[in-house]
Amino acid sequence: MSELKINGNIRQFTLPLSVADLVEQLGYAGKRIAVERNGEIVPKSQHAVTQLAEGDCLEVVVAVGGG
Amino acid sequence: MHQLTIAGKKYRSRLLVGTGKYQDFAETRAAIDASGAEIVTVAIRRTNIGQDARQPNLLEAVPPRQFTILPNTAGCYTADDAVRTLRLARELLDGHPLCKLEVLGDPTSLFPNMPETLKAAETLVNEGFEVMVYCSDDPIQAKMLEEIGCVAVMPLASLIGSGMGILNPWNLRLIIDNAKVPVIVDAGVGTASDAAIAMELGCDGVLMNTAIAHAKDPVLMASAMKKGVEAGREAFLAGRMPRKLYSADPSSPTSGLIGS
């Protein structure tokens, strides 16, 4: 198992794992979310071809109510 | 006629509304519909990993094909955090460049940190964002933001969520009279007359959230705000009568009185 930091929490995953695989595992497939990996945006078009590595730091965000 | 134009796009409504502090998405949507707003702000936050991913999503209640979604940087205290948030927002909204920049100074006043706001605005404009910017009611810094390339300047009328109304109409007038981009009062409006006053000053629009969401009847207040903004705009265009401090002027004829 490899460690990934997602939204500030460390979680265990089995590599190889693409961003698309991660999105699927988290239950967000088809949802309107955005992903940042190690400070860089991963565009939707790149989710399937972007492989994650041990220690990667990810942010997964959504729109919520705000002013 | 007299439509609001922001970054080349025309809007019929001059009322912009937030989506925070409502009981649920149904109430959010009902209030937005009653307000007539076409531009709707949202915040960007981390998903709750591990929680039910099938929970309803705000953008299902307020779909981007129907509304112009204005992602904000609420809660950001540095230029870097604000820029990072809006890059994520642009990805989330399929490349949509319009955004609301706000960089806060402290959690008590939520007053804008202007040096960081100016810094973030510069970066965002260079990256192709269309930046509507929450700012202090300082006419010099509002002009600086315009010169950087912001598409609208949005001075506070009073503190965010305070409902204290228009505290410094003279500064707002200075900003309005100098600006070549739309000036939108953002923050502080408490009730419909506040919105009307902002518009009578010559503001191009008003952005609000709490005044509607925390009214006893948010949907009814949204309708009142719509009318307040429209009334204020019409009064501004109509041009008010001059104030006469010391002499009254009867509206009825002074001749033809009985018994004369």
Q: What are the residue boundaries of the structural domains of chain A, listed by start?
A: 2-62
Q: What would the two tokens of residue A11 be?
A: 């979680």
Q: What is the pLDDT of residue B210?
A: 95
Q: What is the pLDDT of residue B186?
A: 95
3-state secondary structure of A34: strand
Question: Which is the catalytic residue, given B10, B100, B143, B226?
Answer: B100
Q: What is the pLDDT of residue B195?
A: 98
What's the DSSP call for residue A46?
Answer: G
Q: What number is the ipTM of this complex?
A: 0.95
Q: What is the pLDDT of residue B52?
A: 76
- Report residues of chain B scoring pLDDT below 50: 1
Q: What is the pLDDT of residue B49?
A: 86
Q: Which residues of B touch A (CB under 8 A)?
A: 18-22, 28, 41-47, 49, 53-54, 57-59, 69, 71-72, 74, 84, 87-89, 91-93, 160-161, 207-210
Question: What percent helix, strand, coil does chain A show, rounded to 5?
Answer: 15, 40, 45
- What is the fold, at CATH topology level, of the domain defined by A2-62? Ubiquitin-like (UB roll) (3.10.20)
Q: Round to the nearest angstrom and report the end-to-end CA distance of chain A.
A: 41
8 A C-beta contact, residue A67 and residue A61: no
Q: Minimal Cα–Cα distance from B239 to chain A, Å?
A: 31
Q: Is B10 an annotated catalytic residue?
A: no
Encoded amino acid at B169, one letter: P
Q: What is the pLDDT of residue B212?
A: 97
Strands A34-37 and A57-65: antiparallel
3-state secondary structure of B30: helix
Question: Looking at beta carbons, which residues of chain B come within 8 Å of A36?
Answer: 84, 87-88
What's the DSSP call for residue B12?
Answer: S
